[in-house]
Amino acid sequence: MNIQWYPGHMTKTRRMMEENLSLVDVVIELLDARIPYSSKNPDIDTLAKNKRRIIVMNKSDLADPAKTEIWKKYFENKGFTVILSDAVKGTGVNKVSDAARVLMKDKIEKEKARGRLFVPIRAMIVGIPNVGKSTFINKSVGKTTAKTGDKPGVTKGKQWIRLKKDFELLDTPGILWPKFEDEEVGLKLAMIGSINDDILDTETLCTEFINLMMSIDPDRIRNRYKAEFDTIEEPHDILEKIAAARGFIKKGGEPDCGRAAKIILDEFRGGKIGKITLELPEDIRDMSAKTAEKEAEKKARDKERKAAYKAKNK
Ligand code: GDP
């Protein structure tokens, strides 16, 4: 599932995406409702400039409904049409064609005024890996016809799925890259299981998850794992307490944190700890500020390095 993005690969994906975008009127961008910011492609605003856009907050069955509403308003204030969906159950999936028609109303009317009797709308689904693009397309069609599996960009032979008389969807979704230069984003993507765990070992990832949960909703962790702890305790100590509470003890009598970590992450991903959203719009500023800070540091380092190189080779 994990796509390794490298510069050449990204250039190719971008080119394919641009080619495909030129064929559609509407871009349907899928986000993971648990991490609407972190699951967003950083370049989509540029890529889909001049296109009508719909944001689908998918996996909303796993996200905190109150926070999903906050995010919905946030995107709506930015001028987007927002649809909440659970692609597995199919909730919200059928709203897309109506929303697209509303978005295209002025264009359709213009065309009709010019004498065109029938104005079809063409759309494509885009999003980072694992947000549920294939599931969403399959559900739209009603049976398993859309291809699953990860191919960045879109396949060569373009095919359209006619969902309504006047609404067609490109049969293969556009796979976009995440904000992978942002560490916090990477962590959250790993937490929800969207990228492979191998960037971090499970225990470290779970410790980060516990740390985050202490500011989001510590009681969910307390209640689920029947562990007593203070929110200011070291997250790894909390993990140890959970392991002990669950009776995960290694031979020497030490808590088996690795085993507890795997279970906690699995249960979070499966929605067993509750409906949890890991970020709010108000966190974005912090996150982008941190990223900007890091980028500035990197630039300063590069500059220093270049200057040192120049001085050495004079
Ligand atoms: P893609 O890589 O974007 O095409 O993602 P997939 O369609 O392959 O979905 C990735 C995983 O997320 C699969 O295990 C799906 O069953 C699951 N999934 C997709 N949509 C939803 C949803 O709305 N809710 C839940 N709970 N799981 C979903």
Residue 127 beta carbon below 6 angstroms from any ligand 1 atom: yes
286 DSSP β-pair partners: none
Residue 194 beta carbon below 6 angstroms from any ligand 1 atom: no
Residue 140 beta carbon below 6 angstroms from any ligand 1 atom: no
Can you give the pLDDT at residue 54? 98
Can you give the pLDDT at residue 149? 45
Can you give the pLDDT at residue 191? 96
Helices assigned H by DSSP within the chain: 7-21, 44-47, 65-77, 95-103, 105-113, 133-141, 183-191, 202-216, 218-225, 235-246, 257-269, 281-312
Q: How many whole angstroms separate alpha carbon 188 and alpha carbon 63?
A: 14
Residue closest to 17 by CA, chosen among 168, 152, 181 = 152
Q: In testing the pocket of ligand 1, which one of 31, 88, 171 has its CB within 8 Å of the most ligand atoms?
A: 88
17 neighbors 155 (Cβ within 8 angstroms): no
Compute the CA torsion angle 263, 267, 269, 271 (nearest 10 deg): 180
Query: Which residues in the chain land under pLDDT 50?
Result: 1-2, 144, 146-151, 155
> What values do phi and psi take at 249, rounded to 5?
-125, 135
Compute the CA torsion angle 254, 259, 262, 267 (nearest 10 deg): -100
Residue closest to 136 by CA, chosen among 190, 102, 90, 189 = 90
Can you give the pLDDT at residue 311? 87
Atom of ligand 1 nearest to the CA of 137: 7
Q: How many whole angstroms separate alpha carbon 123 and alpha carbon 227?
A: 49
What are the respective helix, strand and coil percentages of the chain, to the nearest 5?
50, 15, 40
205 neighbors 261 (Cβ within 8 angstroms): yes
Can you give the pLDDT at residue 182? 86
Per-residue CA distances from 3 to 38, 87, 121, 178, 227 (Å): 16, 22, 31, 10, 37
The 10s digit of each residue's pLDDT in 110-129 is: 999 999 989 999 999 999 99
Atom of ligand 1 nearest to the CA of 91: 23
Residue 135 beta carbon below 6 angstroms from any ligand 1 atom: yes
CA atoms within 13 A on the CB side of 151: 10
Q: How many whole angstroms separate alpha carbon 314 and alpha carbon 307?
A: 11
Give the distance (Å) from ligand 1 centre to CA of residue 241: 32
CA of residue 15 relative to chain centroid, distance: 21
Atom of ligand 1 nearest to the CA of 62: 26
Can you give the pLDDT at residue 274? 97
84 neighbors 92 (Cβ within 8 angstroms): yes
The 10s digit of each residue's pLDDT in 16-45 is: 889 999 999 999 999 999 999 999 999 999
Q: Kindly report the protein residue whose alpha carbon is nearest to atom 15 of ligand 1.
A: 132
Q: Kindly report the protein residue whose alpha carbon is nearest to atom 24 of ligand 1.
A: 59
Residue 34 beta carbon below 6 angstroms from any ligand 1 atom: no
Give the distance (Å) from ligand 1 centre to CA of residue 298: 36
292 neighbors 181 (Cβ within 8 angstroms): no
Six-digit token string for 300: 């300063």
Can you give the pLDDT at residue 152? 52
> What values do phi and psi take at 37, rounded to 5?
-80, -50
